[in-house]
Amino acid sequence: MPQMAILFPAPLALSPFAILALSVAFIVAAIALLRVHAFFALMIAAVMVVVLSAAGSPGPHNYVQAIGSVTSAFGSAAGMLGFTLALAAVIGISLMESGSAEKIVRCLIAAFGEGNAAVALMVCGFLLSAPVFIDTVFMLLLPIARALSLRTGKNCLLYVLATCCGAIITNGTVPPAPGPLFVADHLKINLFVAILSGAVFGIIPAVGAILGARWFNARMPIPARATRGESLETLAATAGRPDSDLPGFWVAIAPILTPFILIAATSTLGILRSLPFSTPHLPPRVVTAIGFLGDKNVALMIGAVIAVSTNVRRRKLGWRRAGTVLGAPLEMAAMIILIISAGSAYGESIKGAGLGEAVRAAAAGHAISYVFVAWLLAVVLRGAQGSATVAMIAATGIVSSMAGPAGFGVHPLYILLAVGYGSKALSWMNDAGFWLVSRVGGLTQGEALRSWSILATAVSVIGLAEILVVSSIWPNLPF
């Protein structure tokens, strides 16, 4: 459109690397310095990329069409993931409000014993932070960790660090946590494979986290403290809530377990049918039913119905008021959906800027470790602007554009894990999670920096080392 070309009287022939650097610098400055919401920062960066790319291309510059490609990518991502994220939010908030999450925590602590309470709290964080947003997990589990310290008379730091490390491992690598869900969908990774692999790959970093938490706890004796708005007496009273006020364990865990079983059944059936040898014959109706129930949206919808039903019954709301419990989770999910969709639009704009071709030309035939590049991008973005979710989706878009159609040279699962662990490094003052760990966990800012920030980064490095070793031995996986 000629009238739009007036905006750029001379072509701005910037290289894809320069466009990438400018857009990343803008995202970091907008979020970290100007406090612009991540949604607007990512969308403006996406528009910046397509406009600069169009300005540097030969021929007529159709900026309107370029901007339209950003909104199309945004809409596509929202359409693919919006409903899934909304259902996950409904499950998570209902688990909290009904007392189901607290019941799971109590049962695991009873199973492990108070002597192994740190391991139990880590497992709780590990289990809950996939369906429940991580900030909410911190708000639930950290007071329990402090109350346990108060009851046992032991230092608080071990319980706080174990809880939070378990949560960040799953939140970075296991769908339906928002970041991993986006990356799995973007890289076309089977959802059950992503869930199972994230859990398995999390074992070694979790062991390292427990050892690190014990090391810090031995050197930084921190008792349970009152926090702003919560005295030690209030904390003890909350921890003493009778079990009769909580649902049974299997009822509590059903909203998590049911979708997992359904998705696992569908994925396992698909893998078996793809194998060269014969598999047991199932009637077509059974295959269709399993495929329908195991669809991620259907499975999560069933989990959401169970979670909301439990919430309504435990709170004695009555079914006419059941809809009132959906407002808060949908408001929370809306923000995540906007951020993830904007991140997807940014990633698509980077891909369209020709970054992949530029990287391959610069490499001149040299091998590139996309696993390390993905991890490093996530680390830099996380440390610069604070949000782990933004770091994951932006790093995924950039590294996918770098690899291009030729692929990563390894299974995409390793890229998911790499950006997941990279996004958990460098948790410091620009990270909302850092302040939750500090304030809700009863730590001073200095104590959190000397313990939590270091341990979270160590978990990230351990995760990277594990991924590099495994991907070098088994680069191509059969699923």
- Is the pLDDT assigned to residue 341 strictly greater than 70? yes
> Smallest Cα–Cα separation from 166: which of 456, 478, 475, 436?
456
Give mean pLDDT, residues 288-310. Answer: 88
- Phi, psi (5° rounding) for residue 230? -145, 110
Give mean pLDDT, residues 385-397. Answer: 84
> Smallest Cα–Cα separation from 46: which of 345, 337, 336, 338?
345
pLDDT of residue 236: 64
- Is the pLDDT assigned to residue 278 strictly greater than 70? no
pLDDT of residue 356: 64
- Is the pLDDT assigned to residue 5 strictly greater than 60? no
pLDDT of residue 50: 86
* Least confident range of 100-109, 133-142, 362-371, 417-426: 362-371
Give mean pLDDT, residues 279-286. Answer: 72
pLDDT of residue 374: 92
pLDDT of residue 453: 92
Task: Return mean pLDDT, the chain.
Answer: 82
What does pTM read for this prediction? 0.80
CB 113 within 8 A of CB 74: no
CB 294 within 8 A of CB 266: yes
User: Which neighbouring-strand residues pair with 230?
Assistant: 227
pLDDT of residue 4: 45
Residue-wise pLDDT tens digits, 143-188: 878 877 877 777 889 999 999 999 999 989 988 888 898 899 889 8
CB 86 within 8 A of CB 314: no
Give mean pLDDT, residues 98-115. Answer: 82
- Is the pLDDT assigned to residue 58 strictly greater than 90? no
Give mean pLDDT, residues 68-94. Answer: 84
Helices then strands, counting H and E runs in the chain, come out as 23, 0
More confident residue, 312 or 236: 312
Instruction: Output the CA torsion sign for 11, 17, 18, 22.
Output: positive
Q: What pLDDT band is residue 458 in, cutting at 50, 70 and 90?
A: very high
pLDDT of residue 12: 56
From CA 180, how far away is CA 95, in angstroms rounded? 21
More confident residue, 344 or 236: 344
pLDDT of residue 467: 95
Give mean pLDDT, residues 117-146. Answer: 82
Tokens of residue 164, six digits: 């939070």
pLDDT of residue 3: 43
pLDDT of residue 365: 61
User: Which neighbouring-strand residues pair with 227?
Assistant: 230
Tokens of residue 124, six digits: 């709780």
